Chain A
């Protein structure tokens, strides 16, 4: 099957979106997980709050996944027939993928915050609400990244076109 250069660019965009997000989310979840293991080794009853905090940096990975899927649907890879994609549209998809991929690195910081939040919760369980809010703060810019990507996709008719 011959793919047009536009489609290839778009697919690279999808790959970057998911790939970078996976790395960033992985680091973030890893950071939180290490701390979580420390807390649980001391106090297994804290598993609930620890689990919620550890799951927070996962969201960026999901945004990356969503971005990739949106591109793949737009290009037609998901759905069977790969469309003829103009090269400009391909670049736009690549840009969308990059913005999601890069902005998902907020997961690293989020993981670190979640990790220290776990320590705080382990020490004083009543701080759970605050710890979650602190960690969620870091995610805002990943959401904005996803938002910009979606606007790019909509504006260039990759989505809904």
Chain B
């Protein structure tokens, strides 16, 4: 028992000290009201992000976004160095996440036809695949060529989403495959790893919410059961019932099948919003917040093990997501209340 406690002491103390430097509630209040990257940058003074801000970050949302992500990536690398050996799946999680983030950037660049120079310095260090590898993508011509370049990496399965992508011209399914590869890989690993039950619980929630998102989205797009198999992560019990009646029920009819799961109540709560807007985004937001809640739950219950670490990682990611949302809002000229609304609606509880 002492060894378990001991191995996490250093990293837990470090992350708790880092939590002390989270952006405070009062600072968030000021941040909501920001209308330019310069204001945001000045409010980040004294936070961990500040040293990463370049001169350009004061004027340009893109540079500011990059600075925030750079801090996040550096933090991930720092933490992955001090994670105890037994928690190697957490290290995997930290590393692979950056591959996914970089791939996502590349995918969006390809999809949106972004300029190569811009993409060139959007890639961030920190993952398993190095940045040079991502830069070689820039020579790809079109999505097919791009996916072909992934041959030999775990992400080659993206090929299975190409048909759907060309048909709908929507990135959702390609991005889902990316997530699927990430979570499935992690899920098989945590199932094998010992002594890291808490992290397994967290990954389980992520796997389940991933599958649920696919199912709900597919249903609302009118897809059939056989179409969605490549996107789902196997070994996930709670979706069995949904899949067996997938073709018969409509979307509201699927929800009661989840009645015994923790997702039922939040999803039903979002049903009204879904009916109002007709978009499954309402459900997806609710599902996203489940992982955060789970992480906070683990941290409360396991103060000596990996709990604080997991809680910190997820809270930090939330902080970054919220910050990025605010930065992006300055580009599209939202008002203070709209920003607050758009971020709060996602129920990313502030750390």
Contact = CB atoms under 8 A, between A and B. Distances in A.
B6 interface: yes
Interface stretch (B11-19, B112-120, B149-157): B11-19
A122 B17 CA distance: 5
A34 B19 CA distance: 18
Nearest to A38: B13
| 6 closest cross-chain pairs (CB), A and B | A38-B13, A119-B16, A42-B17, A122-B17, A35-B13, A38-B14
Interface string B293-322: 000000000011000100000000000000
A16 interface: no
Contact of A31 (B9, B14, B19, B21): B9
Contacts of B20: 42-43, 122-125
A38 B303 contact: no
A116 B303 contact: yes
Interface in B1-40: 2, 5-6, 9-14, 16-21
Interface string A99-116: 000000000100010011
Interface string A36-77: 111101110010000000000000000000000000000000
A38 B9 contact: yes
Nearest to A41: B14
Contact of B5 (A38, A43, A112, A123): A112
Contact of A38 (B2, B10, B304): B10
Interface of A: 27, 30-31, 34-39, 41-43, 46, 108, 112, 115-116, 118-120, 122-125
Contacts of B18: 42
Nearest to A119: B16
A39 B17 contact: yes
Interface in B258-312: 303-304, 308
Contacts of B6: 30-31, 34
Contact of B17 (A31, A43, A108, A112): A43
12 contacts: A27-B2, A31-B6, A34-B13, A38-B12, A38-B14, A38-B17, A39-B17, A42-B18, A115-B5, A116-B303, A118-B16, A120-B16
Nearest to A118: B13
B308 A38 contact: no
A35 B9 contact: yes
